[in-house]
Structure 1
Amino acid sequence: MVLRSCWKSRHKTSRGAAVRPVLPAALLWFCVTRLACAGGALAETNIVVQKEAEFDVTYNDTATSENQTIYAFNHTVSRNKSEGVRVSVDVLSRGLESPILFVVRQKQAVLSFQIPLILRGLYQRKYPYNHVGRTLCQPPTLVASETQYFFVDVSTLSSQGTNYQLRVSRVESFTLHTDKKFSFTASPSQPQYFKYVFPDGVDTVIVKVNSDMTFPCSVMSIQDIQCPVYDLDNNVAFIGMYQTMTKKGAITVQRKDFPSNSFYVVVVVKTEDEACGGPLRFYPLRPDVLIDAGNRSKDIDVIVTPAIKLEVYVMGMLFCLGIFLSFYLLTFLMACLENKRLCRMKRRECLIPADVSPAETGKIPASPYEYGSLADNGSTLSSEAVTDSATSTDIYGYAGQEVFKRRPILNRVHQFSICIERSLDSVGRSRLESLSSVEEDDYDTLDDIDSDKNIVRTKKFLYVADLSRKDKRILSKKYQIYFWNIATIAVFYALPVVQLVITYQTVVNVTGNQDICYYNFLCAHPMGALSAFNNILSNLGYVLLGLLFLLIVLKRDVIHQRALLRNDLNALECGIPKHFGLYYAMGTALMMEGLLSACYHVCPNYTNFQFDTSFMYMIAGLCMLKLYQKRHPDINASAYTAYACLAGVIFFSVLGVVFGKGNNVFWIVFSVIHILATMLLSTQLYYMGRWRLDSGILRRIVNVIYTDCIRQCSGPMYIDRMVLLVMGNIVNWSLAAYGLIERPNDFASYLLAIAICNLLLYFAFYIIMKLRSGERIQCLPLVIILFTAVVWGLALYFFFQGLSTWQKTPAESREHNRDCILLQFFDDHDIWHFLSSIAMFGSFLVLLTMDDDLDTVQRDKIFAF
């Protein structure tokens, strides 16, 4: 009304005048005139009172729409001394329709807030606060000392008088000191922040915030020295780095990120606790209803400690490399000793004439042309060796033997000529074999092999010779597919994973949101763009030891191929059939586990946890397949079938992580599939693959039940297999029942536990049956088994320490954070990486060497179980 009357008094127009377009200059003049009129009207109705105010004095005043009070303050700012200024306001009236506005005008900033202060929570719920305390930002000064002025304006549009209290005080302890704990109290309407300056020689520090109170939920923020400071729940995430906290919080801060060599530590208490996993409060039906927030004060301690220096980084890297390279050195020394032993044996063989019997030498021949069983202790000579001995005796006779005994040179020439003849013969035969075309359909070379294998596989006592009747070249190609398939899977799996985690790390660095990744913040050492370099470095063991295992397997593969080329009867007819494709796949899987685990630890959270577990499933599956392949080389699963099943496991892992939490339908479906898969696999193993899943399966099941259980009630024909399968079904059904009842939040770990339990069960069965069959475990595999068992026990101890968990909120996960325990660089989870990589490597060596005692035993004397 005032503006309208002012406008009419200055510009009177006729009632019927038409409205014309106004030029820009005229429009500007019109706006200025209106503002002048408004100012004049306000000056006539509003009383402005300015007071010279002092620090640490409480002012009790009344604010109305007819007056405006300005409090003028001045203080001296020193460049060498930092002190804060805090404004505290308390409104004594309740139920205000119009709030009081407080505006603090500084040299380089303006801070404004209203009382009651309305802070919003989840679903836009409103919480009013009548007591507000804010700290003023302190822009840096260029001179040694200067006097700065600031003003506090108080105004309201309420016609009713509102009483308030205003107090401005100095914060003497505004600067944080290194390794010195500082305590304070904060609330949603009274946030706190303090300044920290990097001392000389310190480039990285860790800001640790602790509280004895779990709730209320809080936010810790690290911000640059600038105005304004974002210290409210609704704006604290605008700049800098921040993270939610309940009892613990820690952020690593580097000097390079702050040009002023200083930063603010801001602590804000949130209006609600949902972000920290607290209870969800009621939701009001009307969105304009104000909710009483209650007492949400929180006592907090903050301490800033220097981070580790460059020397600790170097020591940690050298320690990590030294541990795993020592395995290379130990393997090299053992290989040298083994080669020396073999050379000594060959030299001894060369000094013994070909026609001298073992009785004359007093020793059992150790040449590659003799073999035997555990029953006769390897004393039976091969027919070829006997023939060679007889031939040499017939040709040279007794006189020849005397000549060779007295003239070792002639003996060596004779032995060399025999070796040349055998080599030429083996090369010719291998060339003829290579010229023949070999296809996967050429497994069965006998006309009656289809009926014969049904008869063979249903024998009560099976031997390895019964299940190794297929062409070794075909089986070798079949098992090499495992390696090439897993190599292809690794490439296509790893590339998008690397791209994704780089994106995660970039988002963390750009937004400053420390809640995205679940680190152990008390032992997370950054390097470059990586936030937790130590967690990534500790995965190096998987890669190095996986590569070492591949080299060991390659050496054995080469030795075996050379033995086949010279028609060594031990390689052709003795021992467990040597197929190395699965070993190569296991070594590759171990290396990929290290790479993907490192990718996961770039930014660990629930959305990428499957990166860390995918190849664990593959390792467990490949180990079980290798155990089964040892005694059943002809009927082991193909690579395509095995990887398809593992893909199904990973698919369920992803579904469990996304939909498994509290979803009854998912757990019922998974438990049913788990039990059915266990039963189908049990049937496959019990009947050695000689059953078909077709329309007649129900009829055959009824016949078996009728003939074996009802008509004559006979016991199981294959007792050993039945014991294993019954125990396996009990374990798997128990795990399915546990999952259905408890419904664990960490579905990926639950699925991995199922795989590991089945692997351990089958491995224990294999060892028991091996000893029960009269076989023995040599010294080296026995030492490796004991060493691996101890390392696995220690590794699991550190694994279950639980330094973080993505199953909870980030704030709750940080409650489990702990300091480094090894070289001030590695935490408990890093030690788990070290020990588990060594334990997996040892487990692979056990699978590789545990049947070395059978290398001189004929396959028709080795039991299949």
Structure 2
Amino acid sequence: MVLRNCWKSRHKERRDPLPFWTRSGFGVLFCLYIIQFGYSTGAEGTTKTVVQKDAEFDVTYNDTVTNDNQIIYAFNHTVSRNKTEGVRVSVDVLTVGLESPFLFVVRQKQAVLSFQVPLILRGLYQRKYPYFHVGRTLCQPPTRAASEMQYFFVDVSTLSSLGTHYQLRVSRVYSFTLHTDKKFSFTASPSQPQYFKYNFPDGVDTVIVKVTSEMTFPCSVMSIQDIQCPVYDLDNNVAFIGMYQTMTRKGAITVQRKDFPSNSFYVVVVVKTEDEACGGPLRFYPLRPDELFDAGNRSKVLDVVVSPAISSEVYVMGMLFCLGIFLSFYLLTFLMACVDNRRYAFSLLSQSVEPLNDGCSPPADNGSTLSSEAVTDSATSTDNNYGYLERTLDSVGRSRQESLSSVEEDDYDTLADIDSDKNIVRTKKFLYVSDLSRKDKRVLSKKYQIYFWNIATIAVFYALPVVQLVITYQTVVNVTGNQDICYYNFLCAHPLGALSAFNNILSNLGYVLLGLLFLLIVLKRDIVHNRAMYRNELNALECGIPKHFGLFYAMGTALMMEGLLSACYHVCPNYTNFQFDTSFMYMIAGLCMLKLYQKRHPDINASAYTAYACLAGVIFFSVLGVVFGRGNMVFWIVFSVIHILATLLLSIQLYYMGRWRLDSGIVRRIMNIIYTDCIRQCSGPMYVDRMVLLVMGNIVNWSLAAYGLIERPNDFASYLLAIAICNLLLYFAFYIIMKLRSGERIQCLALVCILFTAVVWGFALFFFFQGLSTWQKTPAESREHNRECIVLSFFDDHDIWHFLSSIAMFGSFLVLLTMDDDLDTVQRDKIYAF
């Protein structure tokens, strides 16, 4: 009946000119309001009584309402343009076990706020929590007048036939506006959210809003919303607009003036009904969907402070600081290159005056611990048994000219008797570099150049989808406002454009610049070596470690790609893209080990295809570990078994220099070796040095496998990287020890690089383990580790890790490049292979 009358009234409004409120949508709202609150005849034929009261602020009203009556409280207050005061409505229901809830409707000039009491908030699995005490702050629409009188009404109604009692109190919030750098304390709960207004002062374009609490739980949400009505300040709607993040003890959001046309915003703090979003305990699963749970006391005391963020001058200083550090390495390299060129020109001048030597200089006797009998035995074995004579300069020149002709690029062996010589040479008790550098130089050069071209191809195909993905991540964060997607150090995350943490991206510039510098250094050495080869210089042809630069080029490219992918990861660091930050770290560790092995074993080093296939397997397991490795015992058992088997197979490969076969007779041959060497005569290993290295390597790797199986660390990618680094350090230490045992020395430049790199690595690891954020926990728990900037108010601890680790990696590459420079004048048949 009422709906028909309303419709007739609206139909008449279309024909008759009536006031604006009738001709607008307010007429329909008015009809619905009549239906809602009973201006019609009820089911029992009674008319609802409406009572309107002139109410005052800070007065508690105790009243009773039923389905037969409705109470309207009329308030008025003066709104000033220069002074903002909040208005807060607090309601207490004094009757427990209500038949029907109260409905409170607050009608303002530009907004309507409605809520029921008891307020039912839902948690995980749709669990329902009732709250009988509700407090809500009314939004404050801006006014253009200097002073204006505004009215608002609080309507109270219920459909319960029983008389229910309640308390209503409307009060002013005098501390509604936040001030810059002034801490403000308040208390919030799920049914009593709080929000405050902040106005950008003149000259401040960016601020950081920090909310802290001494209490870890209950879990809460902080939100930044534009000045508009309604304000979304409940657990079930706070994520609708603006920027928001969950928090326990710390929360911080950087806010820019350009995102808020009114030059002001609301800071909203909501306490959640449950703690699962912050890593708290999960309560029991509800037996019935309509079951009500005890909400308990979930009040939380919080502090909020709004501070100006850094200015544009600090951005410029940070960029100049970053560029200055790494460009100084370019300047130092340029100066050293100039000095080296002058020394080289002086040596050429002196050689043009003095007669040329007939051969390379013999190695200096520095007290080698290798026995003279072993050296004599090896040399005699080489001369008498295999008939390898020292080649003359003319024959070397002819060989080089022949190698420049058109040959197949395949990785074939150029030994005279390809099968017998391998078995004879590689199983000698003492090997020299000349024994393992017998393949055609041009073929080997092509073989190792493939490392560079393959990693360049991998980089392009790997990086393009990564860049596209992280741009999508950043767009989602900016559009949705959900700052739980990315694990930043929010206390030191400086935005620039669409990027939320520009400083974390900028600090990765060192990897790219130093990687490029290393490529330039390698290119210079490559050019100098090629010129020496072209002039048929004896030192380049017959002396020193064979110069193959393909792996060095690959290492420099990998360092540059590490910087690019680390920057991509820090666009939005989270659980799903952490492998972007570590993939090329595995590449770098693997390439460094291959380069160390290649120095003394250029003929038998792994091909690029085999090496990258193995590294692809490592990255594959890294992804599986991140996805399935958290507490999954089956995965850890499978990985540990594969890890141990791979260690054993690699040990056999290194010990026998590749002269073994994996076939059906492998078990019989193993048993035969155990019987003859261990049981029958208990002879020691033939290759003692190699055996010591491999035993230590197996001990380390088996220990790491046992640790992973027992502890099952959550960060599988870092665990896998630790395995690679431990093996690299072990092999590097073995190389240095064997180099010194062989009577070789480390030149001053290489020694300085080793010491400098070791010190830088130590400081770098210190900053790495500060742990400013971690995607292994919830976003709220990760924010508990956030810290302020420590350098120029722009860079945090992790940025310093980026600076130092890029320098340390560059230094490590220089160590590999220069550590055997002392052998450049030593004949290869006098350089030990170990």
Please list every run of 5 or more consecutive structure 2 residues that lacks an aligned counterpart in the other structure: 7-27, 368-391
Of 143, 157, 160, 2:159 maps to 157
Of 845, 848, 854, 2:814 maps to 845
1:254 alignment counterpart: 256
Of 139, 142, 154, 1:140 maps to 142
Q: 1:581 to 1:3 in 2, by over 3 A?
A: closer
Indicate if the aligned counterparts of 2:39 and 2:47 stay in contact, CA closer than 8 A: no
Q: 1:464 to 1:148 in 2, by over 3 A?
A: same
Of 633, 638, 651, 2:607 maps to 638
Instruction: Give the drift of 1:524.
Output: 0.2
Please list every run of 5 or more consecutive structure 1 residues that lacks an aligned counterpart in the other structure: 7-27, 355-364, 378-421
Of 712, 733, 748, 1:779 maps to 748
Instruction: Give the drift of 1:162.
Output: 0.7
Alpha-carbon displacement from aligned partner over 1:579-635 (angstroms, at most 9, x marks no partner): 100000000000000000000000000100000000000000000000001111111
Indicate if the aligned counterparts of 1:675 and 1:733 stay in contact, CA closer than 8 A: yes
Residue 369 of structure 2 is aligned to residue 348 of structure 1: no
Alpha-carbon displacement from aligned partner over 1:710-743 (angstroms, at most 9, x marks no partner): 1111111111101100000000000000000000
Distance 1:426 1:704 in 2: 41
Q: 1:452 to 1:119 in 2, by over 3 A?
A: same
Deviates most, 38-47 or 221-230: 38-47
2:370 alignment counterpart: none
Distance 2:810 2:358 in 1: 30
Q: 1:253 to 1:641 in 2, by over 3 A?
A: same
1:299 alignment counterpart: 301
Of 408, 411, 419, 1:438 maps to 408
Of 107, 112, 116, 1:110 maps to 112
Of 55, 58, 70, 1:56 maps to 58
Residue 790 of structure 2 is aligned to residue 821 of structure 1: yes
Secondary structure of the equivalent of 2:755? helix
2:379 alignment counterpart: none
RMSD across aligned positions (CA): 2.3
Indicate if the aligned counterparts of 2:186 and 2:303 stay in contact, CA closer than 8 A: yes
Indicate if the aligned counterparts of 2:403 and 2:442 stay in contact, CA closer than 8 A: no
Distance 1:265 1:153 in 2: 27
Secondary structure of the equivalent of 1:119? strand
Q: 1:441 to 1:341 in 2, by over 3 A?
A: closer
Write the letter of the residue equivalent to 1:41.
T
Of 209, 220, 223, 2:222 maps to 220
Distance 2:739 2:641 in 1: 34
Write the letter of the residue equivalent to 1:780.
L
Indicate if the aligned counterparts of 2:403 and 2:440 stay in contact, CA closer than 8 A: no
2:363 alignment counterpart: 373
Write the letter of the residue equivalent to 1:437.
V
Indicate if the aligned counterparts of 1:541 and 1:838 stay in contact, CA closer than 8 A: yes
Distance 1:573 1:772 in 2: 23
Distance 2:394 2:361 in 1: 23
Distance 1:147 1:277 in 2: 47
Indicate if the aligned counterparts of 1:3 and 1:38 stay in contact, CA closer than 8 A: no
Distance 2:535 2:159 in 1: 104
Distance 2:606 2:711 in 1: 33
Write the letter of the residue equivalent to 1:510.
V
Distance 1:65 1:369 in 2: 113
Distance 1:789 1:37 in 2: 78
1:657 alignment counterpart: 626
Secondary structure of the equivalent of 2:698? helix
Q: 1:826 to 1:40 in 2, by over 3 A?
A: closer
Distance 2:220 2:810 in 1: 44
Distance 2:442 2:466 in 1: 37
Residue 687 of structure 2 is aligned to residue 718 of structure 1: yes
Alpha-carbon displacement from aligned partner over 1:187-213 (angstroms, at most 9, x marks no partner): 000000000000000000000000000
1:611 alignment counterpart: 580
Indicate if the aligned counterparts of 2:127 and 2:293 stay in contact, CA closer than 8 A: yes
1:462 alignment counterpart: 431
Distance 1:39 1:298 in 2: 42
Write the letter of the residue equivalent to 2:253.
I
Distance 2:628 2:348 in 1: 64
Instruction: Give the drift of 1:431.
Output: 5.4
Distance 2:177 2:92 in 1: 26
After superposition, residues 783-862 of structure 1 pair within 5 angstroms as: 783-862=752-831
Distance 1:786 1:664 in 2: 42
Instruction: Give the drift of 1:428.
Output: 8.6
1:416 alignment counterpart: none
Instruction: Give the drift of 1:473.
Output: 1.0
Distance 2:351 2:700 in 1: 53
After superposition, residues 638-787 of structure 1 pair within 5 angstroms as: 638-787=607-756
Count of aligned pairs between the two proteins: 785
Instruction: Give the drift of 1:350.
Output: 3.5
Distance 2:565 2:263 in 1: 37
Alpha-carbon displacement from aligned partner over 1:553-576 (angstroms, at most 9, x marks no partner): 011111111111111111111111
Secondary structure of the equivalent of 1:435? coil
Instruction: Give the drift of 1:122.
Output: 0.2
1:41 alignment counterpart: 41
Secondary structure of the equivalent of 2:150? strand
Distance 2:224 2:607 in 1: 56
1:206 alignment counterpart: 208
Q: 1:441 to 1:111 in 2, by over 3 A?
A: closer
After superposition, residues 57-136 of structure 1 pair within 5 angstroms as: 57-136=59-138
Secondary structure of the equivalent of 2:775? coil
Q: 1:614 to 1:368 in 2, by over 3 A?
A: farther
Instruction: Give the drift of 1:452.
Output: 1.6
Distance 1:497 1:436 in 2: 40
Distance 2:156 2:38 in 1: 20
Indicate if the aligned counterparts of 1:104 and 1:150 stay in contact, CA closer than 8 A: yes
Distance 2:336 2:259 in 1: 51
Instruction: Give the drift of 1:435.
Output: 2.6
Secondary structure of the equivalent of 1:579? coil
Instruction: Give the drift of 1:423.
Output: 13
Secondary structure of the equivalent of 1:267? strand
Instruction: Give the drift of 1:95.
Output: 1.1
1:489 alignment counterpart: 458
2:315 alignment counterpart: 313
Secondary structure of the equivalent of 1:305? strand
Secondary structure of the equivalent of 2:41? helix
Write the letter of the residue equivalent to 2:452.
F
Indicate if the aligned counterparts of 2:39 and 2:48 stay in contact, CA closer than 8 A: no
Q: 1:440 to 1:761 in 2, by over 3 A?
A: same
Write the letter of the residue equivalent to 1:374.
A
Shift >6 Å, 4+ stretches: 1-4, 34-38, 422-429
Instruction: Give the drift of 1:68.
Output: 0.2
Alpha-carbon displacement from aligned partner over 1:312-344 (angstroms, at most 9, x marks no partner): 000000000000000000000001001111222
**Between Structure 1 and Structure 2, whose CA radius of gyration is higher?**
1
2:198 alignment counterpart: 196
Of 424, 443, 451, 1:474 maps to 443
Indicate if the aligned counterparts of 1:368 and 1:570 stay in contact, CA closer than 8 A: no
Write the letter of the residue equivalent to 1:712.
Q
Q: 1:472 to 1:773 in 2, by over 3 A?
A: same
Secondary structure of the equivalent of 2:186? strand
Q: 1:40 to 1:439 in 2, by over 3 A?
A: closer
1:23 alignment counterpart: none
Distance 1:533 1:36 in 2: 53
Alpha-carbon displacement from aligned partner over 1:18-68 (angstroms, at most 9, x marks no partner): xxxxxxxxxx9xx99x97997442595211000000000000001111110
2:373 alignment counterpart: none
Question: TM-score of the superposition, structure 2-length normalised?
Answer: 0.91
Distance 1:306 1:599 in 2: 28
Secondary structure of the equivalent of 1:209? strand
Indicate if the aligned counterparts of 1:371 and 1:856 stay in contact, CA closer than 8 A: yes
Write the letter of the residue equivalent to 1:828.
D
1:385 alignment counterpart: none
Write the letter of the residue equivalent to 1:443.
D
Residue 247 of structure 2 is aligned to residue 245 of structure 1: yes
Identity of aligned residues (%): 85
Distance 1:324 1:114 in 2: 62
Write the letter of the residue equivalent to 1:591.
M
Write the letter of the residue equivalent to 1:741.
I
Distance 2:398 2:659 in 1: 38
2:509 alignment counterpart: 540
Instruction: Give the drift of 1:372.
Output: 2.1
